[in-house]
Structure 1
Amino acid sequence: MLTLKDFQTARQNLASVIHTTSLERSSTFSQLSDNEVFLKMENLQKTGSFKIRGAYNKIATLSPEERKRGVIAASAGNHAQGVAYGAKRMGIPCTIVMPEGAPLTKVEATTGYGAKVVLHGPNYDAAYQYALQLQEANGMTFVHAFNDAAVIAGQGTISLEIMEQLPDVDVIVTPIGGGGLAAGVAMAAKLLKPDIQVIGVEASGAASMLASLRAGQVHTLEYVETIADGIQVKRPGDLTFDLVRQYVDDVVTVDDDQITKAILLLMERSKLVVEGAGAVGLAAVLDQKIAGKGKKVTVLLSGGNVDVNLLSKIIERGLVEAGRYLRLVTTVPDRPGVLLTMAKIFAEEKSNVISIHHHRMGERIVLGQAEVEVNLETRDRKHIQRILKRLGDAGFTYTIR
């Protein structure tokens, strides 16, 4: 059982290594949620996420013999960078097993810290099993991503900072993957302030902790899929499950569309780049999944390591979800003036035309007709509905893509 002293010792171990990240009130998100929303910016932490806290604290507790054998870990990316950074700082050999589909930026960053990276399997769970095989074969010390007391103690140092930065905080909202962050944050917070409420948030496509809580025991999901790769875990830890069950007040889920919307809003309104796993807490707040109004709510932005290619897709998806982007295809008579009629509607509705593609030939196009694909920048869903109504009134039939 962890004690407050364990969290305080972890903080001492980390004092010269990590940033004390900012906790800033967001007027925009406070207004949108009817609460006072404060953002804890672990996306600006060293290595780009909170994971360095638990990883470094674990490595700091290793014996000289364990350090000599080197360390190994499995990770979708953020824990990998934390372990690699800590191992390099202490001069310890380090091997990291990552899923084959891990974001390139996270792979490159991990190798940049001096770790040997092995890509294996489609997800974290497969990488984890292979890392265990390598650990057994080579005698290295395993640094678990979440199911370890020293790792949990390191993650809980976030709550020590929050309590100093905002002593009258009412609610802390934290992401949940394997449960190390949620367990550490919740336990440390409640040791300092027993009446505080802690809410955990999972991606609906990888809600293994919620499934375990409902089953009353650790449960393994058959399949997980979410853009929040940092919390895409089939099975939570045994230790983290017990701590989450004891200290986390509620666990809710958000879907990928809600996550993309939160990422986009953080970029637009707060000028912050946050990865999918880091944005789930804000997504839950904005979707009114946190009960009550007028509370001081701290939302933990757990990481900002997002692949640029994925980010472009997230932005496009977020724009579509928010009604800010419309792509439609229509078949029109192939005669002069038709495109002008369509363009006039777009101009009068003050929608910005990103592109228009006009095709006279194709399998679906009959003689005398043309297919027009239009990409529009729009203001919101009401704006889109107004444009579509005018197109329909003008005799255009269309398909939204």
Structure 2
Amino acid sequence: MPLPYIEKILRARVYDVARETPLDRISLLSARLDNQVYLKREDMQPVFSFKLRGAYNKMINLSEEKRNRGVIAASAGNHAQGVALAAQRLKIQALIVMPKTTPLIKVKSVRNFGAKIVLAGDSYDEAFARSQELAKEQNLTFIHPFDDPEVIAGQGTIGMEILRQHPTPPEAIFIPVGGGGLIAGIGAYIKYVYPQVKIIGVEPEDAPSLYTALKAKRRVKLKQVGIFADGVAVRQVGKENYRLARKVVDEVVLVNTDEICAAIKDIYDDTRTTAEPAGALSVAGLKHYVKREGCQGKDLIAINSGANINFDRLRHVAERAEFGERREALFAVQIPEQPGSFLRFCQLIGKRSITEFNYRYCNAVKAQIFVGIELSGGDKERESLFQRFQDKGYSIIDMTDNETAKLHIRYMVGGHAQGIEDESLIRFEFPERPGALLYFLSHLGKEWNISLFHYRNHGAAYGRVLMGIQVPPGEKGDFLRKLKRLEYVYWDETDNPAYRLFAGVSAD
């Protein structure tokens, strides 16, 4: 590794605004993976991201004349916050161009530091193009988020800290990759001191800028990138970053959205903090690597690069985390349309927790249900359960890896029913525990046909079920007495206008 980069990193001026973040051993994940897993906590920086280091190091080295003119940056959020805070400390005027898709939490943070903001385009590349136009028009100095030696050196101080905090060389360091500034800086320092340490980049499957470049042996501009991990949604790795990466990066691991969501949950379980998708990339890649290599007893370090996540995105993260960890299976199953068929189906599932149950009456012969089942044994258990249903004569389709089913179909099961009589709609609430749904159906009995059923485990203390059931007028008293003996809180929703409009009995 060229000596000038080591000198730049050693001389980098980052600690005027940045802090030396902890390198924490995360015990739960370490025990699960049978390796010593450490998390470099860049989410604990003042702007909740490592980007402050490179931005400040670049700006502190600007000439007085360039500082007076002001600076401009293009960023999906974290670099923008770094530039804005650095500008505030150095009393420099800053203009930030951000994609329109940038999470609101990052936009607000940049404004709070006093920078001016322009929202342009739906990706970093479009924001970058607009920033170049504005830089020329207003004679501003552009602060690149990754393709700049001073920025790379600022990020490289993380590598310097890691070796201070972990005196013996680790087996591997896993680093999120967008434009490549972080992995170039850390890799340059680590490889100079300990060439045997593996530097492993991690990218989303839908934004593999460095992976594609290394494979093609040249920089490649991707046609499009996914924006779930918005902090690394970059179509082309930086020129200088790629030059360094070719020398210091051992490999790049690709992970999918479900694996990223599972990694966010892993970090939360160990630290009680919430990483942004780009910040959790390294943990997702580390887990992927351990599973692939079967390594044990190794010291593995993951960089948690940031924690700037919109609160409303957590709903999606929670939904997908179980799939990423292979802790939930989704099946479409055909069962007979007759009283007691739900109960027999749940008895086959046993004491496993049902995470979701969607059904609406279609015809008098067969019922199609969409069910989620909690797993403890991963894919092997899912395959075994699938085979059990088949052996019992059920027609079943595994939807666990079906993106359309996970994103859309699960929420669309239902609609109006035709040819159904005497339907009542009842909403239930009962304590959530393994086997709760089986207990509910067992004590409800088989006297009446269930014509609509919706249940989703939301992780709360109480489960919620919406059930349509065919009860002739003469049997309504017996039905209500049965409900009372169940001792579950319930509400009669038969006259609810939402039911009438979207799920009630069709007049046709």
Give TM-score scaled by structure 1 length: 0.87
On the 8 A contact 1:84/1:115 being kept in 2, the answer is yes
Q: 2:343 aligns with which of 335, 340, 345?
A: 340
What is aligned with 1:180? 181
CA apart distance, 1:357: 4.4
Q: Distance in 2 between matches of 1:236 and 1:389?
A: 45
Q: Distance in 1 between matches of 2:250 and 2:358?
A: 53
What is aligned with 1:228? 229
Counterpart residue identity of residue 376, structure 2: R
Q: Identity of paired residues, percent?
A: 37
The answer as to 2:167 corresponding to 1:164 is no
| 3-state SS of 2:246 partner | helix
The answer as to 2:317 corresponding to 1:320 is no
Within 5 Å, give how 1:258-273 maps onto structure 2. 258-273=259-274
What is aligned with 1:244? 245
On the 8 A contact 2:106/2:308 being kept in 1, the answer is yes
Q: Distance in 2 between matches of 1:128 and 1:309?
A: 27
| 3-state SS of 2:206 partner | helix
On the 8 A contact 1:226/1:256 being kept in 2, the answer is no
| 3-state SS of 2:235 partner | coil
Q: Distance in 2 between matches of 1:293 and 1:338?
A: 46
Query: Which range is displaced more, 23-32 or 199-208?
Result: 23-32
| 3-state SS of 2:37 partner | strand
The answer as to 2:8 corresponding to 1:6 is yes
On the 8 A contact 2:169/2:194 being kept in 1, the answer is no
Within 5 Å, give how 1:41-190 maps onto structure 2. 41-170=41-170, 171-190=172-191
What is aligned with 2:301? 298
Q: Distance in 2 between matches of 1:355 and 1:254?
A: 26
What is aligned with 1:397? 395
| 3-state SS of 1:252 partner | strand
- Say if 1:298 and 1:95 are closer, same or farther in 2 by CA, change over 3 A: same
Q: Distance in 1 between matches of 2:73 and 2:214?
A: 26
- Say if 1:89 and 1:230 are closer, same or farther in 2 by CA, change over 3 A: same
Q: Distance in 1 between matches of 2:193 and 2:391?
A: 63
On the 8 A contact 1:326/1:377 being kept in 2, the answer is yes
CA apart distance, 1:178: 0.9
Root-mean-square deviation (Å): 2.7
Q: Distance in 2 between matches of 1:207 and 1:93?
A: 34
CA apart distance, 1:241: 1.2
On the 8 A contact 2:29/2:266 being kept in 1, the answer is no
1:174-212 CA-partner distances (Å, limit 9, x unpaired): 122111111111112233444443222222322222322
CA apart distance, 1:42: 1.0
Q: Distance in 2 between matches of 1:249 and 1:376?
A: 39
| 3-state SS of 2:201 partner | strand
- Say if 1:210 and 1:331 are closer, same or farther in 2 by CA, change over 3 A: closer
On the 8 A contact 2:203/2:281 being kept in 1, the answer is yes
Query: Which structure is higher in RCO with an 8 Å CA cutoff and minimum separation 6?
Result: 1
Counterpart residue identity of residue 297, structure 1: L
Query: Which range is displaced more, 150-159 or 112-121?
Result: 112-121
CA apart distance, 1:90: 2.4
Q: Distance in 2 between matches of 1:371 and 1:32?
A: 37
- Say if 1:282 and 1:372 are closer, same or farther in 2 by CA, change over 3 A: closer
- Say if 1:328 and 1:209 are closer, same or farther in 2 by CA, change over 3 A: closer
Q: Distance in 2 between matches of 1:258 and 1:91?
A: 42
The answer as to 2:19 corresponding to 1:19 is yes
The answer as to 2:34 corresponding to 1:40 is no
| 3-state SS of 2:47 partner | helix
Q: Distance in 1 between matches of 2:35 and 2:343?
A: 48
Q: Distance in 2 between matches of 1:133 and 1:121?
A: 13
| 3-state SS of 1:48 partner | coil
1:126-163 CA-partner distances (Å, limit 9, x unpaired): 11111111111111111100011111111011011111
Which has the larger Rg? 2
- Say if 1:356 and 1:34 are closer, same or farther in 2 by CA, change over 3 A: closer
What is aligned with 2:216? 215
Give TM-score scaled by structure 2 length: 0.70
CA apart distance, 1:79: 0.8
Counterpart residue identity of residue 395, structure 2: T
Within 5 Å, give how 1:355-394 maps onto structure 2. 356-360=357-361, 365-367=362-364, 370-381=367-378, 382-385=380-383, 387-389=385-387, 391-392=389-390
| 3-state SS of 1:223 partner | coil
Query: Which range is displaced more, 319-328 or 231-240?
Result: 319-328
Q: Distance in 1 between matches of 2:130 and 2:151?
A: 21
- Say if 1:357 and 1:201 are closer, same or farther in 2 by CA, change over 3 A: closer
**In the comparison of the two structures, how many residue pairs are matched?**
393
